[in-house]
Each structure stands twice: as C-alpha cells, then as structure tokens.
Amino acid sequence: MRRLSVAVAALAMLLAFTALPASAIFGTATRPFPFPFLRGDHNGGSKCAACTLVVGLLEQQMQIKKVNAETSMDLFCSYLPIKLVTDACYVAVGLYGGKIAPLLDDGETADTVCNAIGMCGSEAPVCRLFPAKKQRTEQEFEAHIRKVRAEAAREGLIGKFNICELIPGVCRVEDHLPFYDADGDRFSTYETLRGTDWRGKDCNDSDATVFPGRNATDAVVDANCNGIFGVDATSGRTYEELYCGGTGAMGVAALGDSATAHFHIPPTYVTAANLSAATFAHLVRNAENELDWPMLSWSTGHLDPNSFYPDISGPKGSLYTHMLDDNLCMHRDYQNLGVNGAKVSNLEPFDLLLARNATSGVKPLLLIMSMIGNDVCHWDHTFATMTKPEQYKAAVIAALEKADTFLPAGSQVVLIPLVDGRILYDTMHNRIHPIGETNKDVTYADLYDFLNCLDTSPCWGWMNSNASVRNGTWAIAESLNAQLPIIAAESIGKYQNFKVNFLGNVFDDALNKYMAEFPGDAWELIEPVDGFHPSQKANSLLGYYLYNVTKTAGLLPAVNPNNAAITARFGDQGGY
Ligand code: CA
C-alpha cells in the first residue's frame, strides 16, 4: 500500500491535485518537505501551477495529435501506469472535464481553464504562464479571468478537489530510512524507497552484523558486503587482510538537500510531443525515489545514467565512483542522506539517520555536509526569513558535535558552502522551457515569474527577474558561507574522531571552470524542468571536481595496489 501511496504522492505533485499547504502534509522544519514544487497556498499556489502545466500539456496535445479536448484528457489518463493513479485521473476528468472541454475546444489557454475550474485562487494579481490568446489585451485578459473565477465560485468548484480526501495515502510522510530492511541495520536489498539507490546493498538482510562499511576480516562471511572474503591458502591470511588491510579504505556519506539527492523531473513529463504510455512507464520507481536520483548523484552515484533513458541520461561519475576506482575495498560503502527541501538546521537530525557507529566496528567515513540552497531559498517574497549567520553557524556546530559522538576515529568532514544561484537566471532566463516547446511561447523567466506570482517558487531569491533580489540573496548566502572557515578554524583540537575541512566554494569553482571552458554549454548544467537544480552533466562534473579537491587536500587514501588482484579474484564484487 505504501508503494502505491508514494507513487500517487509524486503524481499529485505533478498534477497538483492537492489542496493542502505543504506544512499540513509534511510537517515543520524537523521534517523537511520532500517535494519542493508542492509549496505555497496563495493564489492557488502549487495546485494552480501544476494544473496549468497539465492543462497546458492537454492543450498542446490537441494541437499535435489533432484531437479534441475530451480525447486529449482520455489519452492523458490512459498513459498513467497504475490503476489507482489512472482512476484518480478519471475522477478528476469526471469532476472537471465537462467544464474544461468546451473552454479548450474554444481556444482558451490553460491559465483561463485553471481559473475556471477553481484551481487558482481569487487573490490579486492574476497569474499567467502562457500568452493570452484570442487577441485579448492585458486588461481584457484580467477581466476575463475574474469573470471565469466568479463563475467557478458560484458553481462551488473552488477547493472541491482534495487529493488527501480522495486517496488518504497520498498525505503520509516519510522517515528517510530504508522501507524494506528486515534486520534493521539501515541497509536494504530493495532499490528504491531509500534502499540500494541511496545506501550500499545489504548482502544479508537477515543478519544485522552484515552491512557495508564494517571493518571485518571476513574469513568465511562477507560481513562488509564489498564482495571480498575467504582465506588465501598460501599465506593463511584472509583476502580482506591481504588486499584491504592498511589501505586506508573509508566510506563516503552525504548529508544534504535536493541537490545532494539529485532531484530531477523527467523532461518528457512536461513535453507535449512526447506524451504516451512510455512517458510515465517508470512513474512508480521515480515516485518511490521522491523524484531524486541518488544513484546518479555527484556524491554517491554508482549506476549508468543512460540505463534510465528516456527519464534521464548523461555522463556517469561521482565522488564515490572515483574513490572506488582508487580502492575497490570500499565497494558499496556509500550513504546518501539528501532530502528535498532540507537546510542547515536538518544536519543534526540527519546525523542520526546515518548507519556508521564506531561501536559497531566500522571503517572511517568521509562525511560531506552539503546544504547548498534552502537556507536562502523559499517561496516567501522576503529576505527576512532566510537563515541568519548565527543560526547557520550554530546549526553546523551542533551537527559536528553530534557526529563526533558516533563516528569512528580517522573520519573526515567536508563542509560545502551555499552555491551562487545567480547562475540559474543568468543562464536560463531567455531559453524556452519544455512546457513552451510546442509553440515556443514560455521562457524560464516566464516560469520563474509565474511561480513567484503564485507564491510557490522553490526559490524566490534565485528564480527571480529582479537582479537586485538575486544580488541580495547572494549577499546573504555569502554571509552564511563566511561562517564555514571560522567553524573549521575553531574546530582544531575540538573533535575526537574527525578533522573539519572547508575547501572553498568548490561547487561554484567547478561550475565556473566548466563555463569558462565551454561558455555556450552552460545551460546543460541546469535541470531542464525545474530550471533550478544541477543537471546530470553537472552532477558528474561536481563529483569529479570534489574528488580532486579532497584528494589534493589529503583527505583520501592512496591508490590501492591490490585493485587488479581484487578484480581478478572477485570480479564485479557482486555488483550493485
Ligand atoms: Ca568483505
């Protein structure tokens, strides 16, 4: 049941059929909001935004396939992959189809339609994503919208559809730990639902003493799941001792936000020309991963992005894979604790979700703390609610102090600063967004303005046409980043089990280096649908850059001279 409920939750995000504000569904700061697009409850907020996207797709599909509105709606529902979701789609069509069809058939835009069915609120101003059709002036368009809103109110349509009432499972919350974990060691054999896509595979899920990262000799059993075990008959020593002993093998873990988890909405979901059953074939998998792709991320990526085409594609490579190339003993020793919407105040609670306790006999950990955006990102149109420097510093120190209570000696912590998000607007604002692809009529700037108009942008500060807002946001981000070298300096001699490392603005440096070398390709670094997150290409670049920076700083072990012997004896070490 939970499997389905998560799928429907993500679909709800896509379709924005929910009528609740995010806080009502997902709680407050201690439980980060996993779907950044489901925020805001003014002017219809995310419900209006996603209605406009979906109806925009329906309208463009009418043009492309030369069908009427009713057929376009039927086709859309038929593309959805599981019965519960398809049924919800038909319920929505039953509620609104009779109202939507004549408007679309008459050439009205998605903006008009979503106001007419009560999905967009009654507050001023009128928000609009698509250009007005029917040769209306701006004033005529606004008057028209007010008229259809008034009709929707008279007909009782406003607030009528509530996904939490229709399918209550949608509004459940997640705890960011593996759902399928029989022995309770926080490692799983299931890919999604915080399983092996997020943390190394558990090679025995009925024994809590067997899990990735253990510091074990493995004479008989592969207790650390790296595929290396048994005894060498010649020397009488175990292969762990022979091949891994003294090599400095360590694991890698990242505590972070949606950029750490690699948030990505498949562009095919919002490209009308691509709509088919194949478009949504992997909706359940993507929903179970919260629309994140940690198995392809800069920190813990380990699979080939092109094996997930058409949902995603691009170059492979992460901090983990480059560390693994150096030392095959760390196979499967990764943990991704990226959560959509998380910020620096979540670092300490995320510490407690790690599976790395010195009392369990584990190898040292390279722990990346990477909250790169949400302390200056929210949907409010104000600087006032962004994190303050003293709050930022206190939160990072609290997370370090907590980590020092359980991490094994010899670990390393790396602090990643907030990214200069001005790259987003500078790079994307003039480009056509996938939702405007059919008629070349919606730019990223149009989308940013629309989301801000609805008070539902994931980041008012960066995704904003006003340069002074973007520059003001960077000034605040810089004031937060300035705390990190201070924290690192003050940490000397303070923590028993790790060194705290601040390595500069590594992500900005990596992106700027790439843009200097390939100035025309900067847009390839940014997610095409949200216009906000690092793309697959950027993830691969960031992983390689961070590997080089940490290697140069002396945080990583030397290359293991036994790698060839490990491969010769143990092959792919059990794969992933
Ligand atoms: Ca082993």
Q: Are 536 and 524 in contact (CB under 8 A)?
A: no
Q: Are 179 and 195 in contact (CB under 8 A)?
A: yes
CA of 285 to the centre of ligand 1 (A): 30
Query: Average pLDDT of 300-326?
Result: 97
Q: Are 164 and 298 in contact (CB under 8 A)?
A: no
pTM of the full structure: 0.90
Cis peptide before 168 (omega within 30 of 0): no
CA of 403 to the centre of ligand 1 (A): 25
Counting Cβ atoms within 10 Å, is residue 385 exposed (0-12), middle (13-18) or buried (19+)? exposed
**557-567 pLDDT, tens per residue?**
999 999 999 99
Amino acid at 466: N
What pLDDT score does 121 carry? 73
CA of 357 to the centre of ligand 1 (A): 18
Angle between helix 506-517 and helix 536-552 axes, rounded to 10 deg = 120
Residue 21 CA to residue 33 CA, distance in Å, equals 11
CA of 182 to the centre of ligand 1 (A): 21
User: What is the band of 43 on the pLDDT scale with cuts at 50, 70, 90?
Assistant: low
User: What is the band of 7 on the pLDDT scale with cuts at 50, 70, 90?
Assistant: very low
**326-352 pLDDT, tens per residue?**
999 999 999 999 999 999 999 999 999
User: What is the band of 120 on the pLDDT scale with cuts at 50, 70, 90?
Assistant: confident
Check pLDDT > 70 for residue 195: yes
What pLDDT score does 181 carry? 95
Secondary structure of residue 251 in the 3-state scheme: strand
Give the best-scoring range by mean pLDDT among 3-12, 116-125, 425-434, 449-458.
425-434
Beta strands in 293-347 (DSSP E): 334-338
- Cα separation of the two ends of the chain: 26
Q: Which of the residues are catalytic?
A: 258
User: How big is the chain, counted in residues?
Assistant: 576
CA of 513 to the centre of ligand 1 (A): 39
Task: Report the mean per-residue pLDDT for the chain.
Answer: 89
Number of neighbouring beta carbons within 10 Å of residue 68: 11
Out of 14-18, 102-106, 406-410, 569-573, which region has the weakest mean confidence (pLDDT)? 14-18
CA of 112 to the centre of ligand 1 (A): 61
CA of 225 to the centre of ligand 1 (A): 5
Q: Report the relative pairing of strands 411-415 and 334-338 from DSSP bridges.
A: unpaired
Query: Average pLDDT of 247-269?
Result: 97
